[in-house]
Amino acid sequence: MVRELFLLLIIYTYKDGKGISSEKLYEILWSDKSVKDARNNFSVNIVKLKGVLDKVGEYHIGKETGKWKFEILNNSVKIDYQRFSELAANKQPTDKSYITDLYNTISRGAFLPEAQYNWLDDIKSGITGFVIDTVLKHISVTDILTEAEWIIKLANCIFYFDQLNEEALEYKCRGLVSIGRHGMARDAYLKFTKEYKENYGLEFERSFSAIIGH
């Protein structure tokens, strides 16, 4: 409960800067309780949360314009989601320095892969869509002959968010072939086809030659 409360405060603070109302918190976390009981549960859990955060860094949790917000003070802690939200608000897919900054965040892995909450599904989906669209747009204007290794790294990031993304497979395999790593390209292809069959129960129809454009 403390973990979920923390995630709600963090995500609703940084995804649009607005925060989350008490009513919304009660509805998500204690929909089966009266407002009074929900308020009591919130008070208990916010004390527990602060007990954990006090050991981490300087922060502030409080209400602003009727909504609860979480704030890091004096840059004492870095939050990947905060930086991601800043980048998402200023999308520049053709700018390599921008994509490099984005890569430094998403190369850590998918967003909260082990957190399973109904309220989080749409947020995860939105992040996944943004990452894949932005990275693929950048790869599409990048020269594979001169920046193959960069393209391979970006394709690997896409796989964190969608392990069966065919465009990422194409770019990864073509990038590997362009730097002479044909065996690694074929291994990546075979791994993909195996996961494809395990997930869909069907054979992947495109051949290795088709994927690498030969």
Greatest CA span in the chain, whole angstroms?
A: 67
Domain enclosing residue 135, as ranges: 80-212
State the pTM of this model.
Answer: 0.90
The helix/strand/coil state of 67 is: strand
pLDDT at residue 214, rounded to an integer: 67
Same domain flag for 92 and 61: no
Q: Which residue has the tokens 């669209």?
A: 133
Same domain flag for 15 and 87: no
pLDDT at residue 16, rounded to an integer: 86
Same domain flag for 102 and 200: yes
- pLDDT tens string for the chain (214 positions)? 999 999 999 999 999 889 999 999 999 999 999 999 999 999 999 999 999 999 999 999 999 889 999 999 998 899 999 999 999 999 999 999 999 999 999 999 999 999 999 999 999 999 999 999 999 999 999 999 999 999 999 999 999 999 999 999 999 999 999 999 999 999 999 999 999 999 999 999 999 999 998 6
Same domain flag for 26 and 86: no
What's the pLDDT tens digit per position in 163-188?
Answer: 999 999 999 999 999 999 999 999 99
Domain CATH for 107: 1.25.40
What's the pLDDT tens digit per position in 36-54?
Answer: 999 999 999 999 999 999 9
Which token pair is 44? 């208990």
Number of folded domains that form the chain: 2
* Strands 67-72 and 59-64, bridge-based pairing: antiparallel
Which token pair is 124? 């995860």
Q: Decide which of 54, 72, 90 is a domain's last residue.
A: 72
The rounded distance, in Å, linking the Cα atoms of 127 and 84 is: 9
Sign, CA dihedral 51-52-58-60, equals negative
pLDDT at residue 9, rounded to an integer: 97
Same domain flag for 47 and 143: no
Same domain flag for 199 and 159: yes
